[in-house]
Amino acid sequence: MGFPSCYSWCLSWKGIVCIFSLPFIFSGFTLKKSKEHLISGEVKPQLTQNRFNWSHLTPFELKNRSVGLQAESRAESTPYFTLGGHKFRIFGGSIHYFRVPREYWRDRLLKLKACGFNTVTTYVPWNLHEPQRGAFDFSENLDLEAFVLMAAEIGLWVILRPGPYICSEIDLGGLPSWLLQDSNVRLRTTDQGFVEAVDKYFDHLIARVVPLQYHQGGPIIAVQVENEYGSFDKDKYYMPYIQQALLKRGIVELLLTSDAKTEVLKGYIKGVLAAINIEKFQNDAFEPLYNIQKNKPILVMEYWVGWFDKWGDEHNVKDAQDIENTVSEFIKFEISFNVYMFHGGTNFGFINGATNFGKHKSITTSYDYDAVLTEAGDYTEKYFKLRKLFGSVLALPLPHLPELTPKAVYPSMRPSFYLPLWDVLQYLNEPVISDKPINMENLPINSGNGQSYGFILYETVICSGGELHADVQDTAQVFLNETSIGILDDADHQYLNIPKVRGCQRLRILVENQGRVNFSWKIQDQRKGLTGSVTINNTPLEGYTIYSLEMKMSFFERLRSATWRPFRSSYLGPAFYICTLRAGSSPKDTFLRLLDWNNGFVFINGRNLGRYWYIGPQETLYLPGTWLHPGDNEIILFEKRKSGSYIQTSINPSFKIVS
């Protein structure tokens, strides 16, 4: 996003913020009316001259940890939170550690603190932390404990949202795909198969979380029980089960639930603080909270300052003035809140989720979210408005603004070599031989855990043409030998006419998992690949060779020994393309532009940057400078349909207008 000229001037002077026109905001309030008047709109705040002074309420200043975050209520006073016995209000912002390169965690957290926030919230993605049953990963970019401790070091409290389901526009809402192997397991219920898996995961996860709690000297002041269960509401015993699962493993901090206003009554647990998710300030939005907990303070767990993008839809943008006005209302009415997202980051690799409200739509690689910080961590108009607002109500000056992460434009890159997919099959792991198609999750690979992400190729032999039908999730390219003959998907193209063939030919079906639905009951039915029989003229085809294309780092290491072909710009069909990005001696962030390419993925030094797709709205891929080496860097594209010519770079992201 471009800044007005005054922002550019401001950023050239560290620690100086431009003066913007802003409605006068009172520095402190004591409400003498109850929440009934907030709901009715009759409230009239009584002003005080006190500013918020939280200098003694930071993780390293607050030494006495006997009393954690609590809800208090006294006569003639609006209910409020206390921390360590001191009156406290949550000014929170969401940053997901798994969507931000670890090397940039500190930068993003410092910018959160410099804006005036006192709390960071984050989800914990089960699917990334336990990619295979019993095999846990909390290393490198998934080092939850390091992220939480870094927040404490910077002076931020933490609200943890450990799931097991998190939504978050991530694949399957953060649930691991291996849960789908048994079609009888009912996700997000007390079904034995599901809660047994949750218990084993929580045994490992919560043991890591317990030492990070407030009462043990850590920064975690609250923990959320599951996520938005009111929108699901399939099992009345489920939420109490998750609550007890947290308690018996040692969680002692304040527990809360989080739901949209129309689902609050379905998702809350008696005795647990109910929080609300809203798009804008409306008096009646808080009525459900008042109905179930009139003597507790209001917490907006998700105030949506932007929204996520889907491929083929418009880029979402929200007005900065509206955001400022709403946060001003929160402050005026003594409401604690969490901005979702403060910094969205990126759906690197294959982790993006999807929606399906009649049609499957994949979430874009960028999770910019039109958030307070951009995908690359740059300041926005929203940032400066909120910083000025918070500065007007806080007793102490805000920290200096951290410098922007430098960007660079690199020379355009033209691929030097390419490999058709058919040449690559020999470098994959051994294929699976089966009489019938097998969906991704049930492939007998990865120690019995199946395939989570990427592509899957089915090969069989046909000796006649006719009407081909297949149950495909999500989209498939169909080939006779190496010639493309059409597309199959789960919506508009479920049938394809196979032309008359001479002799017997090899039928190939390349299926892409474009992201599992992350919201709604449809999470139950998110198996990918071919999910049923394949027929020609209603006759089932048998005898398949099935290749898994997960495109892990080890796969690209094997490709180095392949015999690549000299690049040609007119190749049609799925293929890999290799080129070199020359980053110089000091690599910097950049954005890749693939203007005349069609649809595929980009890998930089073996790391998956994510999906590009000509349909937009996202037109660039964020490339963190910290993932570049000084000098030459290997870029490999997997292009599904047709080769482009050049890859360009830019210092700014780009979003197209989708008609």
Active-site position among 169, 253, 263, 302:
302
Domains, the chain: 74-393 (3.20.20.80), 415-419+564-650 (2.60.120.260), 436-542 (2.60.120.260)
Per-residue model confidence as pLDDT tens digits over 499-521: 998 899 999 999 999 999 999 99
Pick left, alpha or beta for residue 406 (phi over 0 → left; psi -120 to 50 → alpha; otherwise beta). Answer: beta
- List Cβ neighbours of 596 (8 Å cut-off, separation of 6 or more): 644, 645, 646
Mind listing the pLDDT tens digit for each residue in 212-249?
Answer: 999 999 999 999 999 999 999 999 999 999 999 999 99
What's the residue count for the chain? Answer: 659
pLDDT at 568: 85
Please state, in angstroms and rounded to a whole number, the distance separating the CA atoms of residues 163 and 185.
Answer: 18
Q: What's the rounded Cα separation, in Å, for the pair 230 and 649?
A: 44
Q: How far apart are CA 105 and CA 283, in angstroms?
A: 36
Residues forming a β-bridge with 46: 30
Question: Which residues of the chain, if any, have pLDDT below 50?
Answer: 1-34, 40-49
Residue 433 is which amino acid?
A: I
Question: Is 451:176 a contact under the CB 8 Å cutoff?
Answer: no
| Concatenated DSSP letters of 524-580 | GG---EEEEEEEETTEEP--EEEEEE---HHHHHHHTTS-PEEP-TT-BSSEEEEEE
Looking at residue 153, what DSSP letter applies? Answer: H
pLDDT computed for residue 38 by the predictor: 59
Closest CA to 142 of 121, 156, 124: 124
Residue 490's nearest CA partner among 459, 513, 464, 507 is: 513
| pLDDT averaged over every residue in the chain | 92
Q: Which of 130, 169, 226, 228 is catalytic?
A: 228
The Cα 57–Cα 138 span in angstroms is: 29
Nearest to 405 by CA among 9, 3, 71, 11: 11
**CA 230/CA 239 separation, integer angstroms:** 10
Cα–Cα distance measured from residue 564 to residue 212, given in angstroms and rounded to the nearest whole number: 50
Q: What is the pTM of this model?
A: 0.93
Residue 228 annotated to the active site: yes
State yes or no: is 302 an active-site residue: yes
Output 20-28 pairs: Cβ under 8 A, ≥24 positions apart. Answer: 20/384, 20/385, 20/388, 22/324, 22/385, 22/388, 22/389, 22/392, 23/325, 23/328, 25/328, 25/331, 25/332, 25/389, 25/392, 25/393, 26/332, 26/393, 27/51, 27/392, 27/393, 28/52, 28/393
